[in-house]
Amino acid sequence: MSRLLFDREDYALLKIVNDVLGRKKYPGLRRLLTPYLHPHGIKEMAAPRELRMAYAIIHLLGSLEAGMAGDRIKALRSLRDEVLFSAESDLEKNTARLLLQIIKELVRAKDDPLRQLELAHDFRAASSGKPRIVRRGLAEHHLLEMPEEWNQLAFDDHVHDANTKGRKSPTHLIMDAWIKGIRKLTVIHNNFVRPEVASELYQAARIMGIAVRIGLEYRTRHAGSYLKMIWIPRGFHELGEFLEFLTKPEVGTFLRRGREAAQFQKHYVMEALAAFNATHRQAIGEICGVDVPALDPEDFTAFVGAGQASLMHLGRFAQNAVQEALTRKADGLLAAGAAPQGPELSAVFAHMDRFSPEYLIEAHLAPEHNPGLKNPDIPCDSADCPDILRLTPCELIETIHEFHSLNRFVLTLDGHGPEDVLMILSECRGAVTHVEIFNLHDFEVDPSRDNAEIIELIAVVNSGNPVKIKKFVRRIMRRLEDRGGPGSAEKINRLSSVLDNMAGLMDYYKTTPLRACIGTDSTGQSCRHHGMGLVVKDTLPARAARHLERGHSHQRKALPVGVEVVPSLQYHTAAGASPMTLRAARLALFSPLFRHAALRPSLKWSRTRYFHASEKTANIYTLGGIQPPSGEVYKGKLLAGPRTPKFCFRYANSAVKNSLKILAGFIPAALSFGLTKDWWVLCWFGPLIWFGITGLRNVIQSVFGSGGLRRSPVLKWNEYVSFSRLADSLLYTGFSVPLLDYVVKTLVMDQGFQITAQSNPVALYTVMAVVNGVYIATHNAFRGLPRRAVTGNLFRSAVSIPLAIGVNALISGLLSLAGVPDAGAVMQQWAAIISKLCSDGVAGVIEGLADRSKYIAMRLRDYKAKSKKLYDTYSTLEVRFPQKDVEGLLESPQELSEALSTDKSDLEKILYVNALDLLYFWMYQPRARTVLRLLIPGMSQDERRAFLLSQYVLRREYEISRLFLDGLVGKNFARALSFYLSHYQEYLDELQKLAGRCPAAEPPQWDAPPPVDDAPERAA
């Protein structure tokens, strides 16, 4: 069975992942995370992409320690480049999201080798980018398909990372947000934020293209209790400006006050830990029948790590201790012969499910269960209470306004009603800019909370209508009077002040309306609540929207809050458009009919207002799921037992799978020819001829699409051919034999309409070509081939029909001249093959052109990314040597090397790497030569000179050889070094010729070649 399942590449990927996890091998891989190495460049020779991705994931997930933010950022950038630059289909971003998710799970499934093999196989299958495979993978991993335009409204206005009470580092949080499809994120920090944390978060967000904000949450006093206010500083255009702001003396003083509040909270958490050791663990042990070990304060501090100690941390830490004790009890019962479904083990599983972090907090760690401890949720005036916890919302806002004027203040409800919001809005004189109308965590704790009045309040305040405001405030006052209770009289008096200040309230939000926001308050630690991320259904692809409407996934939850969205379609010229295209676009603007003919549309969505939603009107759904309870997970593993491989076509060995596909296609083809043909040639060799035409067409198409006759000399023709794609073609072409030869030609045309190749060849070949074109286009779309190929196959009949008619007439004439009796009957038997031959000939050109366009688009993306780094390096050189002629330095690599010998910023290494990557593109990447021949003539003369001069550093054999030896691409440098020494001269000569053919070009002249020295020998 093991020989039938999985491929050698799957086992190789599993081996290298486990080696990296065990830190046994590949110590030089860390250098491959450097940002100036392109994923399609020279580092392809050092390690396969799967290994590089696995190493980056391990580096990112396993480095939560302080001071490792730089390593995490490098790993994230490398991961992003690896997945984005590898996509080869129209589902570029969705494929990249799936690849990241699979490689994450592959790393985490280290205790289940069979599951790792399945994930390794899925990873390689998803790398093809086939829509059917990608969409299936997204569904299996609970990911929604996102639009490739990346314009979805997916956001979360309230999440936490590991620096507060969350589980994930900022880099990990951003990566997971991108995998889920989130585009906007507000990360909440309690009381303070460290500059290095803010730097990591913003850098990671910029890498992944996520708009991120940092909010600081404070407890403020209101009506005898605490009310949370979130401060989001604004007005910063660059990361450096925000970091400089955090280091200002007055800001530092304010943040230190926040640190005191965090320490005050930590003091209660540590007291609660002591109370758990003294009282609660014994009570839990009596309930579960286990001995729960005491919690070590030092271990708990290490568990919290860089975060701020909270009850959520303590609940998770205590849960781990309880789960370990219950697991030991379950293992003992199993060893004693207890049945997995028996009452004893069932009780243990129930306890595992019951004692979640939230349950431990609610039942044991919360202040009401520890009356001997000072309750931090009740405002105090003692000397040890931090002064920042004594501020009211308005005092907090005034304090912040003293050192920063551009701010966003978000009022969170946290159990407070519309009367509290009204009072604070009026008393703070419009300084509150947002109200958090919905918090998913709070809603799942208490679903009875109604946000309808809060949404109505925002609409009333923004209306500017005094009648509406007065009616709303009076309604709230009457309800308070009817309800009564402590504090109601004070609130009624303050609401009366709101009525007196009604004109001011309207004026506060006249120009800048009060806005709403919603968030999940996710920490990644909960087993009860949904994770991070919300999405508006209207902005998703139709397939994903239908998936949400039908409720196929229990992971998705529709919120009782909806949002109205407005689409806006913008038109702009395509990047890199030619001058003629730009002129045509300007002229088209004057014609209503062709106004948008030369422009590219861009769809954007914007939120207008929120509303209270029902099940039918809900359009906001969760993106995050709920972690299964610990007992359910343990029981599932126990009942499943050790997994044994079972044959599954999905995970079958590629050779087996391809053989089965070819056999499945060959059988109907052989039966069709064998049962319908009288002539022995067609009876026995017809299917071979049919398959030969298809196979030859696939080979020609692949070679033509990838490189054509001018392909790189270092690659053979068969390296361009995908044999999996060839097997798919042979599978589907086999079923086309009975369709075309028997059903269409014999049953329909001959027996139904008495049309043959002799009586009416035009009608026969027209119908056969149309049916074949529709059939091929259909299975091409199902297989996920490029859209151009699918569309082209629908219209290839127009070319193949006259070609087939001409071939039919030519062969018929030759048979008549040769004196073959009844040439019409012969042509009737060969009609399907003639139609197939002509149709596949046209298809080979069409699909080859589609492949060519795909590879050209990929190479354009590669060259664009690498050229940007190249020109950035050139600009850095200009700044680094303001008194020198940089072009002169580049023309003399030896002089440049001497000038950069004391540079500490790796500029020389970056120059070498850029040139090596471009050399690798030219020699190995499909259609790289075609693209470069298109790009160089389109460059300005200065850009062309900079590009060509930057390649001259390849002549520094000794320095570049030494760079390889020093670990540029790790320890596996021999192949890369040999490639460089063997091909750089040929590459430079080709570039020189190419530049010489450009109009008005002045290719720089090389210095005399350096004398032959022993550089290679010394390098070796």
More confident residue, 863 or 580: 863
The pLDDT-based confidence of 753 (bands split at 50, 70, 90) is: confident
pLDDT, residue 671, reads 87
In the chain, the amino acid numbered 1 is M
> Among 134-148, 583-597, 889-903, 915-929, which is the least confidently predicted range?
583-597
Q: Is the pLDDT of residue 237 over 90?
A: no
In the chain, the amino acid numbered 850 is A
Write the secondary structure of 35-47 as one string of H (helix), E (strand) and C (coil): CCCCCCCHHHHCC
In the chain, the amino acid numbered 697 is R
> Among 115-119, 128-132, 454-458, 705-709, which is the least confidently predicted range?
705-709
Long-range pairs, 908-913, Cβ under 8 A, ≥24: 908/959, 909/36, 909/963, 909/968, 910/36, 910/869, 910/873, 911/873, 911/950, 911/953, 912/953, 912/954, 912/956, 912/959, 912/960, 912/963, 913/34, 913/36, 913/37, 913/41, 913/42, 913/968
- Over the stretch 555-568, which tens digit does the pLDDT of each residue have? 788 999 999 999 99
Tell me the percentage of the chain whose pLDDT exceeds 70: 88
pLDDT, residue 582, reads 57
In the chain, the amino acid numbered 601 is P
Residues 59-67, mean pLDDT to the nearest whole number: 59
Q: Is the pLDDT of residue 1017 over 50?
A: no
Residues 819-841, mean pLDDT to the nearest whole number: 77
pLDDT, residue 587, reads 58
Q: Is the pLDDT of residue 482 over 70?
A: yes
- Over the stretch 488-510, which tens digit does the pLDDT of each residue have? 888 899 999 999 999 999 999 99
> Among 22-26, 96-100, 626-630, 993-997, which is the least confidently predicted range?
22-26
Q: Which two tokens stand for residue 574?
A: 């395509």
Q: How far apart are CA 106 and CA 112, in angstroms?
A: 10
Write the secondary structure of 216-268 as one string of H (helix), E (strand) and C (coil): EEEEEEECCEEEEEEEEECCCCCHHHHHHHHCCHHHHHHHHHHHHHHHHHHHH
More confident residue, 978 or 580: 978
In the chain, the amino acid numbered 1013 is D
> Among 168-182, 189-203, 962-976, which is the least confidently predicted range?
962-976
pLDDT, residue 454, reads 93
Q: Is the pLDDT of residue 1006 over 50?
A: no
Residue 565 CB partners (closer than 8 Å, separation 6+): 153, 536, 538, 539, 605, 606, 607, 608, 619
pLDDT, residue 749, reads 85
- Over the stretch 193-217, which tens digit does the pLDDT of each residue have? 999 999 999 999 999 999 999 999 9
What is the residue extent of each domain of the chain? Answer: 1-141, 258-369, 406-519, 563-609, 652-850, 881-1019
The pLDDT-based confidence of 554 (bands split at 50, 70, 90) is: low
Picking from 672, 659, 967, 604, the residue whose alpha carbon sits closest to that of residue 833 is 672
pLDDT, residue 28, reads 59
- Over the stretch 372-427, which tens digit does the pLDDT of each residue have? 888 888 888 888 889 999 999 999 999 999 999 899 999 998 888 899 999 999 99
Query: What 8-state DSSP symbol labels residue 739?
Result: I
Q: How far apart are CA 689 and CA 702, in angstroms?
A: 20
Q: What angle do CA 716, 720, 721 make, to 5 degrees?
A: 115
pLDDT, residue 570, reads 80
Asked if residues 194 and 556 have their Cβ atoms less than 8 Å apart, the reply is no
Query: What 8-state DSSP symbol labels residue 201?
Result: H
Q: How far apart are CA 130 and CA 707, in angstroms?
A: 22
pLDDT, residue 1018, reads 37
pLDDT, residue 402, reads 92
pLDDT, residue 1011, reads 39
- Over the stretch 280-303, which tens digit does the pLDDT of each residue have? 999 998 888 889 999 999 999 988
pLDDT, residue 153, reads 95
> Among 36-45, 323-332, 537-546, which is the least confidently predicted range?
36-45
pLDDT, residue 1008, reads 39
Average pLDDT of the chain, as a whole number: 83
Q: Which helix (H) or strand (E) holds 567?
A: strand 561-572
Q: C-alpha 712: how far from its chain's center? A: 33
The pLDDT-based confidence of 50 (bands split at 50, 70, 90) is: confident
pLDDT, residue 600, reads 73
pLDDT, residue 1009, reads 42
pLDDT, residue 155, reads 96
Tell me the percentage of the chain whose pLDDT exceeds 90: 26
Q: Which two tokens stand for residue 405?
A: 């004027």
Q: How far apart are CA 812 and CA 817, in angstroms?
A: 9
- Over the stretch 762-808, which tens digit does the pLDDT of each residue have? 888 788 888 888 887 887 777 666 676 677 767 776 777 788 788 87
Q: Which helix (H) or strand (E) holds 612?
A: strand 600-612
Asked if residues 956 and 1018 have their Cβ atoms less than 8 Å apart, the reply is no
Using DSSP's 3-state secondary structure scheme, residue 153 falls into coil
Picking from 917, 977, 980, 926, the residue whose alpha carbon sits closest to that of residue 950 is 917
The pLDDT-based confidence of 540 (bands split at 50, 70, 90) is: very high
Q: How far apart are CA 301 and CA 311, in angstroms?
A: 13
Residues 52-67, mean pLDDT to the nearest whole number: 67
Q: Is the pLDDT of residue 9 over 90?
A: no
Q: Is the pLDDT of residue 310 over 70?
A: yes
The pLDDT-based confidence of 677 (bands split at 50, 70, 90) is: confident
The pLDDT-based confidence of 221 (bands split at 50, 70, 90) is: very high
Name the most confidently modeled range: 45-59, 136-150, 971-985, 988-1002.
136-150
